[in-house]
Structure 1
Amino acid sequence: MILTDTHCHLYLDKFKDDLDEVLDRSSKEGIKHIFLPAIDWNSIEQMDQLRHSEITFYNMAGIHPCSVEENLPVDEEKLIELCKTDEFVGVGETGLDYYWSTDFVDKQKESLRIHCRTAKQTGKPIVLHNRESTTDLLDLIEEEQDGSLKGVWHCFTGTEDEGKRALDLGLYLGVGGVSTFKNAGVDKTVAKMPMEKLILETDAPYLAPVPYRGKRNEPAFIKNIAENLAELKNLSVEEIAEKTTRNAFELFGIK
């Protein structure tokens, strides 16, 4: 069984003391592919240092909406040049976040449009962060969608209608730890979404799934998310692993 974590921040300091052990545990659980979204320019350099004999890493380039203030103006030319190369498989993570601050909403939107243009110009998928900004996020994606924009709503927590709208806009849905929280309602929504548009993610070190909720998340826990999704979809864990890995490879253009 081969599992794929499509969204993981292994380069952060929360893994600096036991990174090798984290990766070994991931490999033993069947995780063979880990996708690394950036949060700023520095993280791109940090992710380049990750190595493991049994795991393949895939890098992305982008500025997280919560990092926009420190990275103004967002260097569109630099972003495009990076994402043109084979070293980067995706654009992001980008998006909107109204939870921490609404002081830079216009700048977040400006940054998101830059990332959308980069994704369309390079043919790479966009990775979308969304926190308390669903309507604005989907409205902006609809404005930018010209038939060539593809991507994923990372850490999907929307309603059924919001999920369907995202799918209609050409997005995949990232299924993470929140889908295992029984009081969140996300599990019921995910169960109604088409399997061919779902990919697995941890968002480690954040949002650990049950039974690790509240602890540091890590890629090995993708198996718990896969097991939960298997129950929701009435499929085997092996089928979930195969289908979500195939979906991820299709989205990110991995041969």
Structure 2
Amino acid sequence: MYIDSHSHIYSNEFFNDTFEMLQRAGAAGVTTILMPAIDSETHERMFELEQTAQVRCLSMIGLHPCSVKEDYEKELKIIEQHLQQRKFVAIGETGLDFYWDVSYKEQQYRALEKQIQWALEYQLPLVIHSRNATQECIDMVAQYVPEGLRGVFHCFGGSIEEAQKIMNLGFFLGIGGVVTFKKSGLAEVIKNIGLEYVILETDAPYLAPVPHRGKRNEPAYIPLIAQKIADVLEMPVEKVAAVTTENSKKLFSL
């Protein structure tokens, strides 16, 4: 059995075949799908899936760094209202993204700090997006680990040294389809760090694993990620499934 710890199944890419996509996920052994928030434009669709999906789907709440614009404080206010009204499995996805646009760099830092405070206040894990900003995110969360901050660096694709820094903070690494890409170097990282701090994710609809690379990703592809990790670590795929599922249950209090 598997947990997809990070999947945007509420996105428009799944609008026409949501039911079938979730059927395939269930058939692949995916028992739970965790849905990271992006911004207020997709909250309602995400919440709806919690109520209607035939696979257990659970929402996070947060503001994606690429959605941090002039009105980011308005977005944060909406998140705060949701936090006061209901429970979530995590704060996220949040973090820093210096790949697409650095126009709102300072605002990204402020939005991340606010969401770290919520993670501490509500005792929830933090789901970090760190594209072109891994060390910056490590530096940010390190300040709050002594206060009890915990979480995951989702879609991890960094170096062995960065992985070690993150694990030393007690944070997990979200490993997805990139581990199946020949030139990513992520398989070598996994070989060096093992499974203790690894959880599985698809980041669907993005970053589909081989042999579906370049196509739409979906939760049913989680076993392909697990199999690659099993091959790298020379262990049965069942052990990868068991350990990573327990890691997700531990982190997200499932």
Which residue does the alignment assign to 2:105? Answer: 105
Q: Does 1:210 align with 2:210?
A: yes
Structure 1 ranges of 4+ moved more than 4 A: 74-78
Give distance in 1, aligned partners of 2:191 and 2:87. Answer: 34
Q: Compute the displacement of 1:87 (Å).
A: 3.1
- Whichever residue aligns with residue 45 of structure 2, its letter is Q
Correspondence list, 1:244-255, <5 A: 244-254=244-254
Distance 1:42 1:182, change over 3 A: same
Correspondence list, 1:79-228, <5 A: 79-80=79-80, 82-83=82-83, 87-228=87-228
Worse-matched range after superposition: 228-237 or 28-37: 228-237
Unmatched segments (≥5 aa) in structure 1: none
Query: Is the CA contact 1:44–1:60 (under 8 Å) kept in the aligned structure 2?
Result: no
Q: Compute the displacement of 1:79 (Å).
A: 3.2
TM-score for both structures, normalised by structure 2: 0.94
Query: Is the CA contact 1:79–1:118 (under 8 Å) kept in the aligned structure 2?
Result: no
Which residue does the alignment assign to 1:229? Answer: 229
TM-score for both structures, normalised by structure 1: 0.94
- Whichever residue aligns with residue 124 of structure 1, its letter is L
Query: Is the CA contact 1:97–1:133 (under 8 Å) kept in the aligned structure 2?
Result: yes
Give distance in 1, aligned partners of 2:83 and 2:186. Answer: 32
Distance 1:90 1:243, change over 3 A: same
Query: Is the CA contact 1:92–1:128 (under 8 Å) kept in the aligned structure 2?
Result: yes
Worse-matched range after superposition: 211-220 or 37-46: 37-46
Query: Is the CA contact 2:30–2:220 (under 8 Å) kept in the aligned structure 1?
Result: yes
Give distance in 2, aligned partners of 1:80 and 1:144. Answer: 20
Correspondence list, 1:29-40, <5 A: 29-40=28-39
Distance 1:80 1:235, change over 3 A: farther
Which residue does the alignment assign to 1:242? Answer: 242
Q: Alpha-carbon deviations, 1:143-188, whole Å to 9, x = none?
A: 2332400000000111111001011122100010111111110110
Q: What SS does structure 1 have at the residue aligned with 2:247?
A: helix
Task: Give % identity.
Answer: 39
Which residue does the alignment assign to 2:10? Answer: 11
Q: Alpha-carbon deviations, 1:72-100, whole Å to 9, x = none?
A: 21555653453466631100000111110
Worse-matched range after superposition: 227-236 or 68-77: 68-77
Correspondence list, 1:41-56, <5 A: 41-50=40-49, 51-53=52-54, 55-56=55-56
Which residue does the alignment assign to 1:20? Answer: 19
